Structure 1
Amino acid sequence: MKTSFFLLILTFTVHYGTAQKTVGSIERSDPGLDAIIDHTARAEVIAEGFTWSEGPLWVEPEQMLLFSDVPENTVYKWTENGGTEIYLKPSGYTGTIPGHSKEPGSNGLLLNAGGKLVLCQHGNRQVARMEAPLDEPEPVFHTLADRYNGKKLNSPNDAVYNSKGELFFTDPPYGLPAQNDNDPTKEIDFNGVYKVTADGQVVLLTDKITRPNGIALFPGEKKLLIASSDSNAANWYVLDPENTEKEPELFYSATDKRKGLKGLPDGLKIDSRGIVYASGPGGIWIFDRKGKVLGKIRLQEPASNVALSGDEKTLYITNDMYVLRVRLN
């Protein structure tokens, strides 16, 4: 099937009687994309002006989108009626050293089974739970994981819970002051993928993914999908969450498909059908559960992560200075 390609655009359309800025285009690689998104869809800019937007989380009971601005150490809240406002600051670094890190804030955001906000905190080098209720946020945090074998974590990036209450997270070096493996404050000599058991034990799942980043569970919870944001290994991997002896398996490689495109494999989400929405070179890649590319949401600026609405009919995208919304079928 010949791939259809629609040129990237930045335009304004009429939306609910007002001018609505839209970006990007849809690239169809397989007919299976038609059931997911229409080829005429565009990404609406619902918020903008951020330094580096990340970690979107749709909170269904509150009908709000939360997302991180990592360099600004802030979580923002967006609602249809209220627009954008500061939700939580500081969000990832609660210390007092100026210039501690270029990316000190929270990154990935998620909810635990009790509806509490959980944050991957770059600056504090931990995964933590906000102790305040969602409707009265305060920067008071309870540590869920900050060390492995007595050594400080690097900078937890993204996370997901399973139905048993176990927490899985990735730990690349991007929140460290030097943002690389040579940072003198780095205590662990690899970048790991971990599980936090229900009783709080931190277990290493693998140290074989060079830059583990986005993470999600497929339906059935038998497989984890993990992005590697390594420019020399721009890949997605599948990992058995129960077998620490099994090597990660390649799901898809975009290493040789990066030329001229911004972005690397980063945050991702998987819907109830097993459809994968993954930020990568050139925008959002859409896969079936076997790793077939169905299409892409082409974006000019690098995309960092995505979130799905409760009914899975809306995809939210953090896209550098923008936050986007795309209607799905």
Structure 2
Amino acid sequence: MTSTSGREPVPEVLDPRGAALLPAGAVLEHLGSGSTWAEGPVWLPAERAVVFSDIPGDRVLRWDESSGAGGGLTVHRDGVEFTNGRTLDHRGRVVACSHGRRAIERTEADGTTHVLVDRFGDKRFNSPNDVVVASDGAVWFTDPPYGISVEVEGHEGSREYGDNFVFRLDPATGELRVVVTDVEEPNGLAFSPDESLLYVADTSAAPTPGNGTHRLIRVYDVLTGVRGGRGPQAVPSGPVVKNGRVFVEVDRGLADGFRVDTGGNVWTSNGDAVTVFAPDGTRLLEVVVGEVVANVCFGGADGTDLFVAASTSLYRLRTTAVGADLKWR
């Protein structure tokens, strides 16, 4: 890690394509500290602020652009039942994962929060972890067991449906479907810019015989407009996810949370760093943060600021990329 002032980490360009993703002189700025385990950031464009989870602290913290770099964090909400990942829907409402409620919840414009879904059939979810909203308004989310197995991240419980799936909820109809079943512990997720690909992290770090420990981001084809069939061969309406394969392995830690830019590049947590991968899996650049990174999001006035939630702190990296999930907001 190099530094211009002894403090600000400077991104390391690993491939010539990575240089185009940064403005001249880009460094990682420290915006504020005070979190126990920072997770699930989202940019609120109407308020020009970032809110994110402090999961063990059972609260949501906030950084306002008006406070500037190093201006500190404030408590946005507390007693939130251990929220984790969050995003915005098409109306600018926050959709969040609740470990404590084992649910996906939405906060309305008046500040009230209610559960969108908390069960798969008659079984409760494990602990929804990360969430994205597709261009058709559907809510896609991962459901690993961390909120029921890690004491400080929720409440002790059991995996009632016996597995860890990725789900798709249509809020308009209430239809809930399983879309991915072959990830051991699905965590972060994001779509490619055209939503033809779905990326899902596996943070189980499960040993693979003969290959050591794998910490993966997997990628799937998303097929739309699929209909038809009868009986046991019928295909459900809506997108079909198939052809899962390994996109990349990370080497510093876990690919916990990530975002995709409009060029299709994946900006992911990777242990104590943020690493950027091209759509072909090539490492483009990396910035060592100095704390374990949980998740990132794009925001700022033109969508090119990358906000990094890392352990105790929130950071910002100026980029030339734009978050793909901002395109319809």
TM-score normalised by structure 1 residue count:
0.81
Partner in structure 1 of residue 146 of structure 2:
174
Distance 1:64 1:282 in 2: 24
Partner in structure 1 of residue 97 of structure 2:
120
Residue in structure 1 matching 2:204, options 230, 234, 238:
230
Contact kept, 8 Å, 1:206 with 1:244, in 2: the verdict is no
- Using a 3 Å threshold, how does the CA distance of structure 1 residues 10 and 152 change in structure 2: closer, same or farther? farther
- What secondary structure is seen at the aligned counterpart in 1 of 2:269? strand
- Using a 3 Å threshold, how does the CA distance of structure 1 residues 288 and 152 change in structure 2: closer, same or farther? same
Contact kept, 8 Å, 1:237 with 1:248, in 2: the verdict is yes
Contact kept, 8 Å, 2:4 with 2:10, in 1: the verdict is no
- What secondary structure is seen at the aligned counterpart in 2 of 1:295? strand
Partner in structure 2 of residue 323 of structure 1:
314
Residue in structure 2 matching 1:290, options 270, 280, 286:
280
Contact kept, 8 Å, 1:204 with 1:244, in 2: the verdict is no
Partner in structure 1 of residue 220 of structure 2:
239
Partner in structure 2 of residue 16 of structure 1:
none
Contact kept, 8 Å, 2:220 with 2:241, in 1: the verdict is no
Residue in structure 2 matching 1:41, options 26, 40, 53:
26
Q: 1:259-304: CA deviations, max 9, x gaps?
A: xxxx311111111221211111341110112222111112221100
Distance 1:165 1:80 in 2: 28
Contact kept, 8 Å, 2:148 with 2:157, in 1: the verdict is no
Deviation at 1:61, TM superposition (A): 1.7
Q: 1:28-59: CA deviations, max 9, x gaps?
A: 21000110025853211101021001111111
Q: 1:3-49: CA deviations, max 9, x gaps?
A: xxxx255956xxxxxxxxx4433222100011002585321110102
- What secondary structure is seen at the aligned counterpart in 1 of 2:19? helix
Contact kept, 8 Å, 2:221 with 2:241, in 1: the verdict is no
Amino acid at match of 2:269: S
Residue in structure 1 matching 2:244, options 240, 245, 248:
248
Q: Structure 1: which 5+ runs fail to align?
A: 1-6, 13-21, 94-104
Distance 2:134 2:60 in 1: 24
Deviates more, 1:37-46 or 1:310-319: 37-46
Q: How does 1:67-146 map to 2 (within 5 A)?
A: 67-82=52-67, 83=71, 84-91=73-80, 93=81, 105-133=82-110, 137=111, 140-146=112-118
- Using a 3 Å threshold, how does the CA distance of structure 1 residues 9 and 186 change in structure 2: closer, same or farther? farther
Contact kept, 8 Å, 1:25 with 1:299, in 2: the verdict is no
Q: Structure 2: which 5+ runs fail to align?
A: 207-213, 224-238, 321-329
Q: 1:52-95: CA deviations, max 9, x gaps?
A: 0111111112111111111111111211224422112222x2xx
Distance 1:253 1:80 in 2: 34
Contact kept, 8 Å, 2:268 with 2:295, in 1: the verdict is yes
Contact kept, 8 Å, 1:8 with 1:299, in 2: the verdict is no
Aligned residues: CA RMSD = 2.2
Distance 2:17 2:4 in 1: 26
Contact kept, 8 Å, 1:28 with 1:39, in 2: the verdict is no
Deviates more, 1:64-73 or 1:143-152: 143-152
Partner in structure 1 of residue 229 of structure 2:
none
Distance 1:307 1:200 in 2: 27
- Counting aligned pairs with the same residue, the percent is 31
Q: 1:170-198: CA deviations, max 9, x gaps?
A: 11111114469xx6522121111111124
- What secondary structure is seen at the aligned counterpart in 1 of 2:17? helix
Residue in structure 1 matching 2:193, options 178, 203, 219:
219
Deviation at 1:141, TM superposition (A): 2.4
Q: Report how many residues are paired.
A: 289
Distance 1:214 1:9 in 2: 29
Amino acid at match of 1:52: W
Partner in structure 2 of residue 30 of structure 1:
15
Runs in 1 of length 4+ with deviation above 6 angstroms? none
Partner in structure 2 of residue 164 of structure 1:
136
Partner in structure 1 of residue 304 of structure 2:
313
Larger RCO, structure (CA 8 Å, separation 6 or more): 2
Contact kept, 8 Å, 1:26 with 1:39, in 2: the verdict is no
